[in-house]
Structure 1
Amino acid sequence: MGFLRSTALLAALPLALAQNGTNSSTPNPFNNPGAVSGQTSPPKYPTPWGEGLGDWDDAYAQAREFVSQLTLLEKVNLTTGVGWEGEKCVGNTGAIPRLGFKALCLQDSPLGVRFADFVSAFPAGITVGATWDRELFYQRGYEMGTEHREKGIDVQLGPAIGPIGRHAAGGRNWEGFSPDPVLSAVAVHGTVKGIQDAGVIACTKHYIGNEQEHFRQGGPNLTSAISSNIDDVTMHELYVWPFAEAVRAGTGSIMCAYNQVNNSYACQNSYLQNYILKNELGFQGFIVSDWAAQHAGVASALAGLDMTMPGDVAFDSATSYWGPNLTVAVLNGTVPQWRLDDMAVRIVASWYYVDRDTNQLEEGPNFSSWSQDTFGFQHAYAEEGYTRINDHVDVRNEHRDAIRKVAADGTVLLKNNGALPLSGKEKLTTVFGSDSSENPWGPNGCVDRGCNNGTFAMGWGSGTANFPYLVTPLEAIKYEVLSNGGSVESVIDNYAYSQQAALAHRVSQVGGACIVFANAAAGEGYIIFDGNEGDRNNLTLWDDGDALINNVASECNNTIVVMHTVGAVLVEPWYEHENVTAIIWAGVPGQESGNAITDVLYGKVNPGGKTPFTWGLTRDSYGPSDVIYEPNNGNGPPQDNFVEGIFIDYRYFDRFNETPVYEFGYGLSYTTFSYSNLQITAREAPSYQPTTGETPEAPTYGTISNRTADYLCPEGFEFIFAYIYPCLNSTDLRTASNDPEYALNYTWPVGSSDGSPQPRVPAGSADSLGGNAGLYEVLFTVTVDVTNDGEIAGDEVAQLYISLGGPNDAVRVLRNFDRKGIEAGATETYSFDVTYKDLSNWDTAAQDWLISSYPKTAYVGSSSRKLPLSGPLNIAGSPGGYSPPGKYGPPKQRYVRH
């Protein structure tokens, strides 16, 4: 595989602010410029070099000192994985034995340690998102990070905020938190902080536009992967927003995605990586490719990629775009030394930033991803190095308690006609549906959870972990009922219609409850289950769930429905049935599933979760944007035009007056709450000033010899089969590169090797993370009183929405929230800060966040459509709401999207 040969892809580099366009298969009601088939993006070079911004200064000082000691081969070893199945983790870099720097271990997943035993199976991101609880965001992250640390992992491949959830049917939505950028941003901030406070590098993923599984890596007869075509405003106001918060939280790593963005692969898209992530957001960590998402050598290096995983071109191919080819590229001047040095510094700085130097296990990872056996091969693919590979270390600690709490607090009560909570003393309790019971193959019986047997507690794919156990709803309900001396029976076969009807009929005769469990699963696209290639083919319940519910409800006058789903499902066939007395969404709850749902059903936990997405009446309710299931561009890359812009989920429903079944942010309680006393206070803040000036010049660390003989692989060295090494097999660079066209003249982007001082961008920063520090200045504080009007204590999530007022703006957007427990009869005051960024739009001409002249209004309530309180946000007293000179910036004309 030729390193330089592959850079023909460079012509397809970065992201455009394009013209009108639509998916060919769907109408476009949005008139959205910048989402058109075939659009490209502007090249942005050179790659910004890390400066130690924010609180990274100490880590950078240590990293610079360390990298200054490294040879060329040692620097390359840091950047390149050793190959799939080359070591014990799913991703492993080379080590630097001379200085005692161990190989880095990168390991899935966003909800626990993948491929290991004696670890916890945490609730998925969508469930913790439904808690709307900042403390739980952090706690879950901290406990996951602790388990990764104690297994010897350096980088946890999570959290996930891409996909954000553009499509309700998206296969991996459950790994993330919500299709709302602010809820996702707050959740990712807390999760990153938690993981990294535990001493492990968080790798926030997938950057960016990875919104469906179909064609994300191409497909049969396709030339390349799907292209997500996104305009500049939508990119900033929706998709980048949570990534900016991850950067503010200090995420040490960000994973670039498989897909293309505006017809340039995400991992070599200079606009996304150089301009937005490293320049505008001031990201100080390293960008790592998704596994085999690198498609070129020099092109990806110059476009900002810092680490390639798993290191080989294709799994176990024994070839690499980097490794020895990166060594060649530095020696022949194609990749400047400062670029390689910056890669190394970013990686090592992330290591120091989370104190890996004091948290790394001396013996390295104490498990193997490739076998559960105690003894096996250190190098699994090569079948070399037979040794002890698993120590079976139990790292779960007492995490089950927090797992149970997250699952219960993330449970959403959607309907309750007085049926809940149950007393535990019902005459007869009956349970229906396979979703209530055991997987007959065991909880880990399906590879990477790629099936839907028994109760659904985890989606499938790389975002999984092994269950240490799985408490099913049926066994937990049995325990509860029997503890109270009751009677409980079940029918777990979804297709045993007559048995269901007979048992349900008995409940109506003697009194009691019929609890029906149903589900809908999804996952990563490399697993196809029941015809679902990762993405769901439809939004209905699986395994005849609708028929199951209707069959029971037709006979039982107290039918309680519990759904474990990856996201919204269509409930129209039964949600208004007079015998369906309660409906619960229990999400993707993890190992404590049964205990958590029993806590809610029997009132040990008063439900306080709010749905983190919108429930539509039909699939069409979500608008014309949908998963592309069939190629739409011949054998070229499928073109996915994000014509809807920022209008996804509740923003679409509000914009087009679509009535949801259950709106975003909705959730009932066993008590009731009332809102009063809205107060809006203007805060003193400095004038917003666009960033100006230049960076320092690119630094280099150490010297590199021009003698190619210094970089030859040692004579007599015993090579591991298919392992990726940084050394050369020849002093002739053309021969070493294995590139038959090495002598041809390649054209590289203008400025890509320029290490001179570079201009800073207006929305960027010279000293802070996440962009210009002025974006996060507080302009208003909004307070509101919430009273618990019921007779029991409960949690309420108060939500602040803002109308930005413009014709192209959403009706309202979430901008802040808080969850508090309130005693019966008590009142709590909620306080919300509103920042400059919260009130701004992205202006493509200024390339900055600007407050428009349209009036701004704050709304507070219990959901996106239950907002009883509102008030104007009069910026500096201006009736038009615009920014007067000398306060929040110069006056702006009415905002028009470009």
Structure 2
Amino acid sequence: MHLQHVALWLAATVPAAARASCTNNGQLTKRVPATSDPYYPSPWMDPEADGWEDAYAKAKDFVSQLTLLEKVNLTTGVGWAAEQCVGQTGSIPRLGLRSMCMQDSPLGIRGTDYNSVFPSGQTAAATFDRNLLNRRGYAMGIEAKGKGVTVLLGPVAGPLGRMPEGGRNWEGFSPDPVLTGISIAETIKGVQDAGVVACAKHFVGNEQEHFRQVGEAKGYGYNISETLSSNIDDKTMHELYLWPFQDAVRAGVGSVMCSYQQVNNSYACQNSKLLNDLLKNELGFQGFVMSDWQAQHTGAASAVAGLDMTMPGDTEFNTGISFWGANLTLGVLNGTVPAWRLDDMAMRIMAAYFKAGLTIKQDPINFSFWTRDTYGPIHWAANKDVQQINWHVDVRQDHGNLIREIAAKGTVLLKNNGSLPLKKPKFLVVVGDDAGGNPLGPNGCNDRGCDNGTVGIGWGSGTANYPYLVTPDAALQAQAIKDGTRYESVLSNYANTQTRALVSQANATAVIFVNADSGEGYINVDGNEGDRKNLTLWKNGDDLVKNVASVCPNTIVVIHSPGPVLITDWYNNPNITAILWAGFPGQESGNSITDVLYGKVNPSARTPFSWGATRESFGTDVLYEPNNGNGAPQQDFSEGVFIDYRHFDKANASLIYEFGFGLSYTTFEYSNIQVQKSSSGAYNPTTGTTGPAPTFGNYSTNLTDYVFPSDEFPYVYQYIYPYLNTSDAKNASADPFYGQPAEDFLPPQATNGSAQPLLRSSGKSVPGGNRQLFDVLYTITADIKNTGSLAGDEVPQLYLSLGGPDDPKVVLRDFARIRIDPGQTSQFRAKLTRRDLSNWDPAVQDWVVSNATKTVYVGRSSRLLDLSAQLL
């Protein structure tokens, strides 16, 4: 409970010295000390924001009743392992509001039992199916609600996937911002329709695990004093990394998690340019910004820079010390943090809560993240108050069927020389460690931090406990028995003699399962410190494939991986008759791949990333060694928007498989592209001002009213409270500089609650930006005919050439997944909005449609562009 000075007064941005030298439309051309401009004050909620009006009114009614201590309790986590969830805020028992539960993960409910493990976001994105993405989000939301979770910590748009080696790319969707934007928006709608607040993360530039935290890096032997800085220019930020978060805001996301690393040498969770300017002002975000766990570095400074909730509440795990809690209480009382800023924090939290359909009366939290035991201490870290903490509630419903469907429809057929679909093969041989189970069980490695058996998900906080895991070996054997097929498997990558003896026999069809893995940085698997250390297959996978293919003329390869792997040495081998990428499919892995291999599901997924021939061909890589002495490692995003297929197109480089590519068991023909122009009128920049910052309720200025009430309830060890330990302000703060005026250490305008001008690119009461950015300027149609003999889904994709000399060759702008019967023709219909046709202009600070000639393409992938037309 005792307060300590915890950098409450540090400034929230780096001083504006040594500005980055930019050319070429704002892209960084050389390494210079990147800086982040200050932006104050922190924008307050708009009572008329589209879709938030009712939530605002309910929040206002509730927050108006709160005391200062209760408002602080809403904003501050109670500490690591202080209660049941991975993160919780304080409660408001006087008004019947229990503690809010924040719980991982973006593909299931982490740390519980009787929950499902869904396919990764990346695998779901490969379906190119809005409906499936939405249904996946809804099912995850239903399971979270059934456990008593308030905020589900997902979905993910950061990392976007700048480097294919990035450890957590699989938690997100795709390095293409449009595919990620559509995927995250549909997921958010699904989660929040289920009655749980979604949390879009990690905002922004969180593209690698190396050096994301000082303590973690030092644990691996790196000598750094500050976390990595992702240095991103204004144009790249808007056209690439901010793009999907804009879609998340438009979808009504309730919370956004700021990330660990710095952006332009200012920590993301106190970066006023990111939080105040881009997120809350330009995008009009009405929900609350939550810190990643221990990503907060200051108190008052992070408050005025736009942070609304700190997780898990303590400065470091299990210290009992907080930047906020009692320090925030004192900061408001002494005027350091304006009362309107605390009110806005509370308003944003409660508005997001009500927008998700939650009411004050919530079902109780029925699990403990810290143990599967039925009984244990409710305050885990303090080992206090033993009671029932796990009710083992089964929330899975029939979600196994949905998981099986998503994973099958997210499996990409990369190569097929006629060997698929399988039709009761005479002799089926399944080979590879990845086909079988983990000898320790599917949950035998903490947070899935190993590569034993088949890989259904990566490792880290983005995981969940399996209720079961159907292995490929089990599912394929069951199908073989049903068909009367002879079946044998060798569940090892190293049993060369036994494997060759089997696959060289007459009539053998060999299916090889190989993998690569990755995850969060706190786990190291075979030298992979979260990020992959290379792009090769793991556990001798390449040699296994080449050895089998050398003797078996019908070899099929299935890859489970968190992104592209290098297959240059063997993919063209004529004995390799089929290659499939099955991503991270979740608990129904074996059933899903069996459905595809046997044609129960006609494959139609598209690869959500490109497959280069060499590691170097991707043009970006993880920064594996510090490059700035013992200071903050500097990672310049100097390639600008040219990542993945945009990079390969710019370099005019060959690819193994391009973004958007995928085969089917049937064939399709494209024809008859038509372009219809809309009359939407000229673009009008937003003008006007906000209202002044509102305040809700009054509070006592008598410090005696804020001292811990030891006569009312006992103090729990390490628990973060909003109370002071003494009524003497200077002693309570433990700050030798206490009493110094706020204007002496906070940036100018940080406490200014007067009406503020609206940005021209912002939306007036429109979350997501200027409403006219989303006017439809063109509608494009094309005919797609199934020219094969099987019904199947086709995924036509709309690409656009923006036409400028510094623009990518093409960029994805829309897509659809269409079911078409043999001989039938269906119409693909796509739309282009003003944002789709625009570039970000750093000088004007707005989206601008250039005069360059623009061409639209409809095709099967980023390089198979069947149809084209100019936009007039």
- TM class, shorter-chain normalised? over 0.9
Secondary structure of residue in 2 paired with 1:401: helix
**What is the aligned partner in structure 1 of residue 842 from structure 2?**
844
**What is the aligned partner in structure 2 of residue 278 from structure 1?**
280
Does structure 2 retain, via aligned residues, the 8 Å contact 1:16–1:42? Answer: no
Does structure 1 retain, via aligned residues, the 8 Å contact 2:12–2:272? Answer: no
Stretch deviating more after TM superposition (2-11 or 597-606): 2-11
The verdict on how the C-alpha distance between 1:760 and 1:127 changes in structure 2, with shifts beyond 3 A counting, is same
**What is the aligned partner in structure 2 of residue 892 from structure 1?**
none
- Cα distance, 1:34 vs structure 2: 6.7
Secondary structure of residue in 2 paired with 1:228: strand
**What is the aligned partner in structure 1 of residue 490 from structure 2?**
491
Matched, 1:461 2:456: no
**What is the aligned partner in structure 2 of residue 243 from structure 1?**
245
**What is the aligned partner in structure 1 of residue 538 from structure 2?**
542
Does structure 2 retain, via aligned residues, the 8 Å contact 1:213–1:524? Answer: yes
**What is the aligned partner in structure 1 of residue 704 from structure 2?**
709
- Cα distance, 1:5 vs structure 2: 3.1
**What is the aligned partner in structure 2 of residue 138 from structure 1?**
134
- Cα distance, 1:223 vs structure 2: 1.2
Matched, 1:599 2:598: no
**What is the aligned partner in structure 2 of residue 356 from structure 1?**
358
The verdict on how the C-alpha distance between 1:419 and 1:30 changes in structure 2, with shifts beyond 3 A counting, is farther
Pick from 857, 861, 865 the counterpart of residue 859 of structure 1: 857
**What is the aligned partner in structure 2 of residue 435 from structure 1?**
434
The verdict on how the C-alpha distance between 1:443 and 1:857 changes in structure 2, with shifts beyond 3 A counting, is same
- Which residue identity is paired with 2:450? C
C-alpha distance in 2 between matches for 1:72 and 1:359: 22
C-alpha distance in 2 between matches for 1:562 and 1:412: 10
C-alpha distance in 2 between matches for 1:17 and 1:142: 45
Matched, 1:413 2:413: yes
Matched, 1:799 2:813: no
- Cα distance, 1:14 vs structure 2: 8.5
Stretch deviating more after TM superposition (317-326 or 684-693): 684-693
- Cα distance, 1:16 vs structure 2: 9.6
- What are the superposed Cα offsets for residues 106-147 of structure 1, whole Å, 9 maximum, x if unpaired? 000000100000000000000000000000010000000000
Scaled by the length of structure 2, the TM-score of the pair is: 0.97
C-alpha distance in 1 between matches for 2:99 and 2:281: 29
C-alpha distance in 2 between matches for 1:222 and 1:386: 41
**What is the aligned partner in structure 2 of residue 336 from structure 1?**
338
Does structure 1 retain, via aligned residues, the 8 Å contact 2:20–2:32? Answer: no
Pick from 6, 9, 14 the counterpart of residue 7 of structure 1: 9
**What is the aligned partner in structure 2 of residue 888 from structure 1?**
none
Pick from 168, 185, 191 the counterpart of residue 189 of structure 1: 185
Pick from 593, 605, 626 the counterpart of residue 631 of structure 1: 626
- What are the superposed Cα offsets for residues 47-90 of structure 1, whole Å, 9 maximum, x if unpaired? 00011311101100110111111110000000000000001000
C-alpha distance in 2 between matches for 1:134 and 1:578: 36
Pick from 725, 728, 731 the counterpart of residue 724 of structure 2: 728
Secondary structure of residue in 1 paired with 2:673: strand
Matched, 1:688 2:687: no
C-alpha distance in 2 between matches for 1:468 and 1:13: 51
Q: CA RMSD in A?
A: 1.5
Matches within 5 A, 1:101-116: 101-116=97-112
C-alpha distance in 2 between matches for 1:514 and 1:586: 17
- Cα distance, 1:483 vs structure 2: 0.3
The verdict on how the C-alpha distance between 1:14 and 1:414 changes in structure 2, with shifts beyond 3 A counting, is farther
Pick from 167, 174, 188 the counterpart of residue 171 of structure 1: 167
C-alpha distance in 1 between matches for 2:271 and 2:86: 25
Does structure 1 retain, via aligned residues, the 8 Å contact 2:25–2:235? Answer: no
Does structure 2 retain, via aligned residues, the 8 Å contact 1:159–1:204? Answer: yes
C-alpha distance in 2 between matches for 1:234 and 1:823: 42
- Cα distance, 1:39 vs structure 2: 1.0
Does structure 1 retain, via aligned residues, the 8 Å contact 2:798–2:856? Answer: yes
Does structure 2 retain, via aligned residues, the 8 Å contact 1:586–1:597? Answer: yes
C-alpha distance in 1 between matches for 2:247 and 2:60: 26
Matches within 5 A, 1:385-534: 385-423=385-423, 425-506=424-505, 510-534=506-530
Matches within 5 A, 1:825-844: 825-844=823-842
C-alpha distance in 2 between matches for 1:513 and 1:405: 25
C-alpha distance in 1 between matches for 2:99 and 2:144: 15
Does structure 2 retain, via aligned residues, the 8 Å contact 1:30–1:643? Answer: no
- Cα distance, 1:738 vs structure 2: 2.4
Does structure 2 retain, via aligned residues, the 8 Å contact 1:669–1:794? Answer: yes
Secondary structure of residue in 1 paired with 2:249: helix
Stretch deviating more after TM superposition (352-361 or 589-598): 352-361
- Which residue identity is paired with 1:607? P
Stretch deviating more after TM superposition (819-828 or 739-748): 739-748
The verdict on how the C-alpha distance between 1:864 and 1:9 changes in structure 2, with shifts beyond 3 A counting, is same
Long gaps (5+) in structure 1: 22-28, 875-898
**What is the aligned partner in structure 2 of residue 765 from structure 1?**
763
- What are the superposed Cα offsets for residues 260-308 of structure 1, whole Å, 9 maximum, x if unpaired? 0000000000000000000000000000000000000011001000000
**What is the aligned partner in structure 2 of residue 881 from structure 1?**
none
C-alpha distance in 1 between matches for 2:269 and 2:530: 22
- Cα distance, 1:742 vs structure 2: 2.5
Matched, 1:608 2:595: no
Secondary structure of residue in 2 paired with 1:12: coil
- Cα distance, 1:31 vs structure 2: 9.7
For these two proteins, the number of residue pairs brought into alignment is: 860
C-alpha distance in 2 between matches for 1:401 and 1:126: 19
**What is the aligned partner in structure 1 of residue 321 from structure 2?**
319
**What is the aligned partner in structure 1 of residue 754 from structure 2?**
756
- Which residue identity is paired with 1:679? Q
- Cα distance, 1:715 vs structure 2: 3.4
Matched, 1:205 2:201: yes
- Cα distance, 1:855 vs structure 2: 0.6
C-alpha distance in 2 between matches for 1:136 and 1:832: 19
- Which residue identity is paired with 1:366? N
Does structure 2 retain, via aligned residues, the 8 Å contact 1:803–1:857? Answer: yes
C-alpha distance in 1 between matches for 2:17 and 2:242: 14
**What is the aligned partner in structure 1 of residue 869 from structure 2?**
871
Matches within 5 A, 1:875-890: none
Secondary structure of residue in 1 paired with 2:612: coil
Secondary structure of residue in 2 paired with 1:406: helix
**What is the aligned partner in structure 1 of residue 821 from structure 2?**
823
Secondary structure of residue in 2 paired with 1:724: coil
Matched, 1:42 2:42: no
- Which residue identity is paired with 1:260? Q
Does structure 2 retain, via aligned residues, the 8 Å contact 1:763–1:849? Answer: yes
Matched, 1:737 2:733: yes
The verdict on how the C-alpha distance between 1:832 and 1:359 changes in structure 2, with shifts beyond 3 A counting, is farther
The verdict on how the C-alpha distance between 1:34 and 1:262 changes in structure 2, with shifts beyond 3 A counting, is farther
- Which residue identity is paired with 2:28? P
C-alpha distance in 2 between matches for 1:263 and 1:800: 37
Long gaps (5+) in structure 2: none
Stretch deviating more after TM superposition (742-751 or 311-320): 742-751
Does structure 2 retain, via aligned residues, the 8 Å contact 1:286–1:350? Answer: yes
Does structure 1 retain, via aligned residues, the 8 Å contact 2:18–2:33? Answer: no
